[in-house]
Structure 1
Amino acid sequence: MSAGHAHAGGTATAQHRKRLVLVLVITLSVVAAQIVGGLVSGSLALLADAGHMLTDATGVAIALVASTLATRPATNTRTYGLQRAEILAALANALLLGGLAIWVIVEAVQRWNDPPEVATGLMLAVAAVGALANLASLMILRAGKHESLNVRGAYLEVLSDLVGSIAVIIAGIVIATTGYTRADVIASVAIGVFIIPRAWSLLRDVIDILLEATPKGLNLEQVRDHMREVPGVVDVHDLHAWTITSGVTALSAHVVVDDECIDQGRPGAVLDALDECLGEHFAMEHCTLQLEPVGHRSHENAHHD
């Protein structure tokens, strides 16, 4: 006997779409200012920060498009709809972020022996505007960073942008006061080094979801123990849990029930109790449970656990 329980609802990213739109507008405005400022002032650090913010803007735009696609209904060929589009967007974001970091570091190394002159006044003014804009964006995204990978990705990118703007400001002050033009190159490397671990963290989480790893913070042995405590349940095997997209988890399991439960026609009551247990203790909203009698496991494939 099997039963599936699906609960429809918006994805985590969709709930924060307006925040992402606002951050996108702010980011694109600052990118334009930084590109012009970087070209005029000759600052690689400012151009690096502009490139980073442009990547952020691209990532946010991808997340917005993906969150819209994710709301499309499921079909017979795509039984979860396009909810995984959000995860693919997060993957693209992580790769763009990592690629930018490598480019910045390589360009900085090439400039080390021949650092150009930098117009520090313009450099500092544009960097300060960028820092204020990034701070505003962080405040906008803070509420959703624990609920959606895409919002978290945008938050991390804006955070690294803020650090990048601060690094540019520090480099500008050093150049203005000491004339040490390599400070711009050092700031560029610092921005690249700061970006890499954050890109890797996001990429690792995306890979876990694509490989259908057990959601973070969920202990399957505890889930199994709770399910076994439901009256009528003898054992639980072939237990799996995974993340479909941010905020949407799923679980499937084979549940062995005793003969008395079957003879008395109580499988429905056991199923309801299991759903309540999984929802209350583990916030599982999409569960597919196969109820089976004692001895049925011997008829299943050997890979079932």
Structure 2
Amino acid sequence: MSDSPRPSAPGPEGHDHRPGHSHGDGHAHDHAGHDHSHAPTVTNENERKVLISFFLIASFMVVEVIGGLISGSLALLADAGHMLTDAAALALSYMAFRLGRRAADEKRTYGYARFEVVAGFLNAATLFLIVAWIMFEAWRRFSDPQPVLAGSMMAVAVAGLLVNILAFWILTRGDSEHVNIKGAALHVMGDLLGSVGAILAAIIIMATGWTPIDPILSVVVSLLILRSARSLLRNAMHILLEGAPDDATPAKIEAHLMGAVPGLAAVHHIHVWSITSGRVLATMHVRPEDPAQARAVVAAAEAALFAEFSIEHATIAIDWGDAPGGCSLTQEEAGHPHDDTPDDASLIAGRAT
């Protein structure tokens, strides 16, 4: 970011051409000494949790398939089918973490961390498919009840419950807010609920002999899974569409900076988005009251953004007050009254740093 007023003798087309500061549009960018390496932070702990859970789920899935076939229980077979997709989802999550560790390169300047969000999206999508299959099979079984061996069903369901509790405990230790960990944990939670449903069904069948309870509880469990899947899908889509985090909207950023940064006359053209869970980035234009204090204003703005919103990378362009408007689409037109879309040169400059 520029540390002095706009130069009195600009280069061609009025641009500031000082090395390391100009981005071809009169916009200077200062990073106030922050480390702006875009290599994603992926912990070995997250990888290990997912890998251990994968082996637990995949191993017991085989047991549950055999138990479901022997006992004739839809609840067990449905849970086994869920476990199959869980194993695939956990494998995908592990692969996402492995890819996420790769450093940024010339083609992917923010690295591969976004792949973790894609994995969360796919996990949610598979949950919807599982629920659809369970609903169909439950309707078929309810119309034509099948005999169920309640004793075998109970034994397998209890063992499955213990395995799922262990896997869920492993996944929810430490960093449980990561979208990829959340997706894996939701899959395991669905399995856990499936095991509970199978146990209840086995108890009722043993006590009354009423086998329709098996598909009925399968539907109840699938509805609980559907609720979690909807939440995960919405969060993953929000990140993929580069939506603003709920606690760091443009309006909140503008209000905070105007109150926290001395010498700031105006802030606009705010854009904020997430690369993946916990990695928030932003671009904006600021207008200092005194051009001579431009560098100090930008440094204070970056510090305030990091302290209040955990924005690790803020690309801030100075609005010198005499440049023509740079946005072809205003937030009023887009339905967002507190933000503007930056001009192409500013946007390219912000994401290239």
TM range (shorter): over 0.9
Deviations 1:191-214 (A, max 9, x none): 222211111111111111111111
For 1:103-252, list aligned pairs within 5 A: 103-144=133-174, 146-228=176-258, 229-252=260-283
Residue of structure 2 equivalent to 1:293: 320
Q: Is 1:276 matched with 2:307?
A: no
Counterpart contact for 1:120–1:173, Cα < 8 Å: yes
Deviations 1:245-272 (A, max 9, x none): 11211111111123x3x3x3x4332222
Q: CA deviation at 1:171?
A: 0.4
Q: Is 1:255 matched with 2:281?
A: no
Deviations 1:165-207 (A, max 9, x none): 0110010111111111111111221222221111111111111
Counterpart contact for 2:39–2:104, Cα < 8 Å: no
What secondary structure, in the 3-state scheme, does the structure 2 residue paired with 1:285 have? strand
Q: CA deviation at 1:226?
A: 2.4
For 1:79-90, list aligned pairs within 5 A: 79-90=109-120
Question: What is the identity, as a one-letter code, of the residue corresponding to 1:253?
Answer: M
Structure 1 CA distance, aligned partners of 2:304 and 2:49?
Answer: 34
Q: What root-mean-square deviation, in Å, do the aligned CA atoms of Structure 1 and Structure 2 show?
A: 1.8
Q: CA deviation at 1:113?
A: 2.2
Q: Report the count of equivalent residues.
A: 300
Structure 2 CA distance, aligned partners of 1:57 and 1:188?
Answer: 20
Counterpart contact for 1:11–1:246, Cα < 8 Å: no
Residue of structure 2 equivalent to 1:31: 61
What secondary structure, in the 3-state scheme, does the structure 2 residue paired with 1:293 have? coil
Residue of structure 1 equivalent to 2:101: 71
Structure 2 CA distance, aligned partners of 1:252 and 1:182?
Answer: 58
**Identical-residue share of aligned pairs (%):** 37
Q: CA deviation at 1:75?
A: 2.2
Any gaps of 5 or more consecutive residues in structure 2? Answer: 1-27, 331-339, 341-353
- The correspondence for 2:76, drawn from 46, 52, 56, is 46
Question: What is the identity, as a one-letter code, of the residue corresponding to 1:74?
Answer: A
The worse-fitting range, judged by mean Cα deviation, of 228-237 and 104-113 is: 228-237
CA distance 1:131–1:291, change in 2 (3 Å): same
Q: Please, what TM-score do these two structures have when normalized by structure 2?
A: 0.80
Any gaps of 5 or more consecutive residues in structure 1? Answer: none
Q: Please, what TM-score do these two structures have when normalized by structure 1?
A: 0.92
Question: What is the identity, as a one-letter code, of the residue corresponding to 1:162?
Answer: L
Counterpart contact for 2:68–2:74, Cα < 8 Å: yes
Q: Which has the larger Rg?
A: 2
